[in-house]
Amino acid sequence: MTETAAKTASKPMDGIRKAAIFMISLGPETSAQIMKQLPDKYIQKVSYEIANIDHVSQKEREAIVNEYMEMSQAREYILDGGIDYAKNLLNKALGTQRAKEVIDMLNQIQLRERPFNIARKADPAQLTNLLLGEQPQTVALVLCYMQPDKAAQILVNFPSEKQSEIAERIGTITSTSPVVIERIEKVIESKFATYIENDTEHVGGVNALVDILNQVGRTTEKTIVGELEVRQPELAEEIKASLFTFEDIVSLQKGDVQKVLREVKQDDLVLALKGVSDELRDYIYENLSTRAVETLKEDMQFLGPARLSAVEEAQQSVVTVIRRLDELGEIYIMRGDQDAIIE
C-alpha cells in the first residue's frame, strides 16, 4: 500500500460513503427501495458515491453492516425503555466502550435531525443575547434542543429568578405542538437568516433539565433547585434524585470512590475538600493510603484560605469525573429509589 493510500485508509469514513457501501452490500433491488425513501439531495450524493466506488473489501462491508445492525438495535432499545435501558443492554451485548460509541453516534444522528439546528451551531454568547428578551417558555423550548453544556452556558447568564422559571418549564415539558415549534423556529430563522427543519415534537422533561444542571456551576444548580423546592417540591425531589453532587460521594461504594480518586487531580481534590463536613472528609481519607492522606492534609494546610467559587469549581471537576465513570459503567451511582447492588 502506498503512503497516500495508507493515509486515505486511516481517515474516518463519512456517512455518505458508508451509506453507499451499505447499499452496494444489500444488492440492487433492496437498494432501489431504500433510495426511493431518501430526500433528493441525498439520492444525488449517495448515487455519486456509489458510482465512484471501484472496490470494497469484504472486511469493510462486514464492518459497515455490523455498525448498521448495532445502530438499529440501539434505536429499538431506546424506543423500548429509554437511554438508560439501551445503555445497559448494549453494555452486555457489545461491551462498555463499543456501547458508548454506538450511543454517541446515534445521539449525533438524532442531533442533526432535530429542530433548532442553527441554535446548536450558534455561538453561546450570540444565542444568549438573542434569547434574553424572549419569554421563559420560549427559552425553555430552545434549550431543550441544545447540547446540555451549551444550554448551561446560556442559562447561567439569565437573572436568578428567570433561571428558575426557565428550569421549571424545561422540567415540566412533556411534548410540544409542531405548530409552536415551527413558529419559534421562524423567529430564530429571521434573526439568523437560516432555515431550520422541524421533524421532532417530544422534548424536555426531568432528564433534559438534569442534563443541563449537570453542566452548570454548583451555585447556579443550588439556586435553581432551591427555588424549585418552593415552587414545585415534587419536581425538585425528582431532580435531586437524578443529580449527583459532591456531598453525595459518601453514597458511593468504597471501591468506586477509590476508582474516582485515581482519576482526580491532586490540586482539585485539595481544593474540593475545603470546608466540607467531617463525615465526607473522613470518607475520602478512608479510601486513600496512609501516605496519601498525610500528603493531602499537608497540601490542604499549605493551601490556606480559598475563594468559595474556586472550591465549588474544584468540586464540580470531581463530580464530572464521577459522572464520566458512571456513564462508562466503571462505577455505579444510586439514583432515587433504585435497588442497591448485591455483591
- Kindly indicate the confidence band of residue 283, based on its pLDDT and cuts at 50, 70 and 90: very high
Q: Pseudo-torsion of CA 211, 216, 222, 226, nearest 10°?
A: -60
- Kindly indicate the confidence band of residue 305, based on its pLDDT and cuts at 50, 70 and 90: confident
The secondary structure of 242-273, three-state, reads HCCCHHHHHHCCHHHHHHHHHHCCHHHHHHHC
Contact status, residue 120 vs residue 131, Cβ threshold 8 Å: no
Residue 11 has pLDDT above 70, yes or no: no
Q: Which residues contact 89 (CB under 8 A, 6 or more apart)?
A: 77
- For the stretch 135-157, pLDDT in tens is 888 888 888 877 788 889 889 98
- Kindly indicate the confidence band of residue 262, based on its pLDDT and cuts at 50, 70 and 90: very high
Rounded to two decimals, the pTM is 0.39
Task: Give helix then strand counts, H and E, for the chain.
Answer: 21, 0
Whole-number Cα distances in Å, 147 to 53, 107, 308: 35, 10, 28
Which domains does the chain show, CATH number per domain? 13-113 (no CATH), 117-242 (1.10.220.30), 246-327 (1.10.220.30)
pLDDT attached to residue 259? 93
Contact status, residue 275 vs residue 309, Cβ threshold 8 Å: no
Amino acid at 190: S
